[in-house]
A = this chain, B = another copy of it.
Amino acid sequence: MAHGAVQDADEQEISLGDITQSLGFLIRIAQIKVFAAFYEGLGQFGLKPGEFTVLWVIGLNPGLRQGTVANTLRIKPAHMTKLTGRLVDRGLVSRETPPDDRRAVRLKLTPEGQSFVDTHRDAFLTFHFTEKDNLSSEEADQFLLLLQKFTGLH
């Protein structure tokens, strides 16, 4: 197929020009694809991607401040409040106001939350390694490396 063009079922060939060189465009398409894979593989657990990630990080860092989780995962404070609320409502996470700073909120997993993470750890990790389809193992490694470098998360 010609460079910068895709075929649509009942249409002539469509020229995409330089947008197929656009990181922004490609990343948006990639995200749509990854989200679809997430819901396919992990949707049964009833958590959204961001919720899963937050649960995971709280599990690794019990007692972390809500704002620190938000900063780390690039979640805005307003959204973090709601997201945390959903996890608390599901009984997976508990909030605690530390006495030394009563403005703050510290988060940890409830027993249910811990057991949820323990139970689904494998499914979660397996997902990480099957979501990379289309790419060979070496390409997937390279892709992750470049993403880490691009995002500054290494």
Interface membership of A47, Cβ < 8 A: no
Interface membership of A128, Cβ < 8 A: yes
Name the contact of A27 in the complex, choosing from B3, B31, B71 (C-beta under 8 A): B31
A98 to chain B, nearest CB (A): 13
- In the complex, the answer to whether A139 meets B134 with C-beta atoms within 8 Å is no
Enumerate 28 A-B pairs (CB-CB under 8 Å) in ascending A order. A6-B153, A8-B68, A14-B64, A14-B68, A16-B57, A18-B124, A18-B125, A18-B128, A23-B30, A23-B143, A24-B31, A24-B34, A24-B35, A24-B38, A25-B53, A25-B73, A26-B144, A26-B148, A26-B151, A28-B49, A29-B153, A31-B31, A32-B74, A132-B150, A134-B150, A134-B151, A139-B149, A143-B146
Interface membership of A120, Cβ < 8 A: no
Question: Does more than half of chain A's interface fall in helix, strand or loop, or is it mixed?
Answer: helix
Interface membership of A20, Cβ < 8 A: yes
What is the interface of chain A, defined by CB distance below 8 A to chain B? 1, 3, 6, 8, 11, 14-35, 37-38, 49-50, 53, 56-57, 60-61, 64-65, 68, 71-74, 124-125, 128, 131-132, 134-135, 139, 142-144, 146-154
- In the complex, the answer to whether A20 meets B142 with C-beta atoms within 8 Å is no
- In the complex, the answer to whether B30 meets A27 with C-beta atoms within 8 Å is yes
A85 to chain B, nearest CB (A): 21
